[in-house]
Amino acid sequence: MNRFKFAFNGLKVFLLEESNAKTHLALCLFTIAAGAYFEVSKIEWLSIFICSAIVFTAEALNSAIERLCDKIEPNKDDKIKIIKDIAAGAVLLSSIFSAIVGAIIFIPHIISLF
């Protein structure tokens, strides 16, 4: 039971202390609202939730890696920078592919308004 407590505490810290988590949360809520407005299909909902989960997971792991790196080496270090850059790149990749999925889902719905 404590494992869940620790995990929920980690999510709380992530959402309250990481500014990128707040940005991803806002975009996720906007996407959910848009999905509700356009009455997207079940498969589109599934795609939205999978993409959102992947982006949130990538960002959470990136945040954990950054904190660990800062703890291990608080001074500027080229090897630590590469580790952080790779982790940030994973977030960027997941965000780009999620944006592509979002465009595939929402552009036809937006075009149908006109």
* Side chain identity at residue 94, one-letter code: S
Question: Among the CATH numbers 3.30.830.10, 1.10.340.30, 1.10.10.10, 1.10.287.3610, which is that of 2-111?
Answer: 1.10.287.3610
Instruction: Please give the Cα distance from 42 to 48 (Å, whole number).
Output: 10
pTM over 0.75: yes
Residues 66-99 pLDDT 10s: 999 999 999 999 999 999 999 999 999 999 999 9
User: If you ran DSSP here, which 8-state letter would residue 39 be given?
Assistant: T
Instruction: Please give the Cα distance from 114 to 9 (Å, whole number).
Output: 46
Instruction: Please give the Cα distance from 71 to 84 (Å, whole number).
Output: 13
Q: Model confidence at 2, in pLDDT bands (50, 70, 90)?
A: confident
Residue found under tokens 């590469």:
82
Q: What is the dihedral angle through the alpha carbons of 85, 30, 109, 42, rounded to the nearest 10 degrees? A: 90
Average pLDDT estimate for 9-38: 95
Instruction: Please give the Cα distance from 53 to 60 (Å, whole number).
Output: 10
Domain boundaries, the chain: 2-111
pLDDT score, position 3: 86
